[in-house]
Structure 1
């Protein structure tokens, strides 16, 4: 077995999310089906850096998988793209060490959310940009978002459906800008990890602040409240994109893997 890392992009519109689910087609399922064809009927599991919800898109999702035959990465890239759905494109494939893990070695992610403030929605953006036809003040939102930068408990910005018990995450960048070319608002969030629906709830709350429905210091209150009911709505998934996943170098990854392995062995003994 040879382990490969791949960077993929996809239109999330036809999928129930990245992860395989019983209620509809998923990105993971499509990727695995392509590898199944290539390997002439061998089941190959694809592991992603994380889940994306129904309708959410990606420009830089990262996955890894073990392929039964060593192939040149260019050949693997061409073959995989040829048998995978048109809504998915594999951007790059590289061979990695057998200890590499797309999810557990990820040390940060960049998410982007697009919002259209035009009075009437464009038919070409229906599945890719949130239509919000209100005179939203993005300077107010930027002022509010500065409060979420740093390490905080983000329980107020996490879906109650989560199975997580640790809500502390670090946000390194949180800002919204106006794209002068398209006239769209662009939210950017970079951090070491994100909770279930976290970015979408931050966007939904920020838009209420931009609309004047909440004060600019509202994020400070919500972080302290640690109550999902206090925050704003969850913005729809179709405006959200996973832009990039960040990884440490191989030396650091090997050290992380050794620590994880020692922890698992200790857990098994106990």
Structure 2
């Protein structure tokens, strides 16, 4: 039995997220498994590094699956990209050790979130960014980022109501690049793991701070209370990208 690692990119706007939902073909996992069955003749379950939400995108999602197929990686890339819809692309195929697991072996991830910050909307990026009409104060947002970096309990910055598992995560860095008030602004977050909707809630809170709707003290308050409703709104799904998954 071979273990195959995939590196994928996809435009998630037409899908209900990564995770297979019954017989629905409107998930990334479902589309991939259907193509793998056609390609190999086997019923295959593919494992992703994490479950991206409905409408979110990926430039560097990682997944793995087991197969008896003797196809070489280069052939798998060609066949899968020919069979998949154009909004899902296999960037690389690699045979890996049997024990490799896309989710359990992941050591960290990088996400980016894109905000179109202008009074005028954008026709081309409307499905891939969050339109914020009010000017954003870059200095205020950068100061708030310093409070978020490090090891914290991010329960209040997640969509989890409660969790039996640890909600402590470490954010290594948050960078904000671009020209607030006149165009695209990119938020880049790197950490050892992210809770459900954590990136979108963090960005929504930073945007609220940037527009003056909130003060950066809200971050300390959410860390102390662990209450989701005290943080900013959840930024829309279409601005979020999974850029890269890190492994040792």
On whether the aligned pair clears a TM of 0.5, the verdict is: yes
* Structure-1 residue corresponding to 2:83: 83
Q: TM-score, normalised by structure 1?
A: 0.87
Q: Secondary structure of the residue that 2:190 maps to in structure 1? A: strand
1:26-53 alpha-carbon deviations (Å, 9 max, x no partner)? 000011111111113x211110000000
Distance 2:154 2:111 in 1: 16
Q: Secondary structure of the residue that 1:145 maps to in structure 2? A: helix
1:66-117 alpha-carbon deviations (Å, 9 max, x no partner)? 1221221111111111111111000000000010000000000000000001
Mapped pair 1:25 → 2:26: yes
Does the 8 Å CA contact 2:159/2:198 hold for their aligned counterparts? Answer: yes
Identify unmatched segments of 5+ residues in structure 1.
249-270
* Structure-1 residue corresponding to 2:127: 127
Identify unmatched segments of 5+ residues in structure 2.
none
Q: CA deviation at 1:217?
A: 3.2
C-alpha change, 1:162 and 1:6, in structure 2 (3 Å) is farther
Q: CA deviation at 1:163?
A: 4.8
* Structure-1 residue corresponding to 2:111: 111
* Structure-2 residue corresponding to 1:170: 170
Does the 8 Å CA contact 1:145/1:219 hold for their aligned counterparts? Answer: no
Distance 1:44 1:229 in 2: 40
Mapped pair 1:97 → 2:97: yes
Moved over 3 A (4+): 160-165
Distance 2:48 2:87 in 1: 17
1:222-255 alpha-carbon deviations (Å, 9 max, x no partner)? 212211111111111100000000001xxxxxxx
Q: Secondary structure of the residue that 1:51 maps to in structure 2? A: coil
Cα root mean square deviation, aligned: 1.6
Distance 2:217 2:25 in 1: 41
* Structure-2 residue corresponding to 1:74: 74
Q: CA deviation at 1:120?
A: 2.1
